[in-house]
Amino acid sequence: MNLPWEIDNDWTIFLDRDGVINERIMGGYVTKPSEFHLLKNVPKAIQTFNEKFKYCFVVTNQQGIAKKIMTTSNLEEVHRYMNTLLENENAKIDKIYFAPGFKNEENSSRKPNPKMGEIAKSEYPDIEFSKSIMVGDTDSDILFGKNLGMKTVRVKTVEEIKVEADFTVNSLYELSKIL
Residues labelled catalytic: 16, 18
Residue 135's identity, in one-letter code, is: V
> Cβ distance 37 to 22 under 8 Å?
yes
d(CA 53, CA 92): 12
Burial of 78 (0-12, 13-18, 19+ CB in 10 A): buried
Distances (CA, A) of 138 to 27, 110, 125, 129: 14, 13, 27, 19
Q: Give DSSP secondary structure letters for 51-93.
A: HH-SEEEEEEE-TTTTTTSS-HHHHHHHHHHHHHHHHTTT---
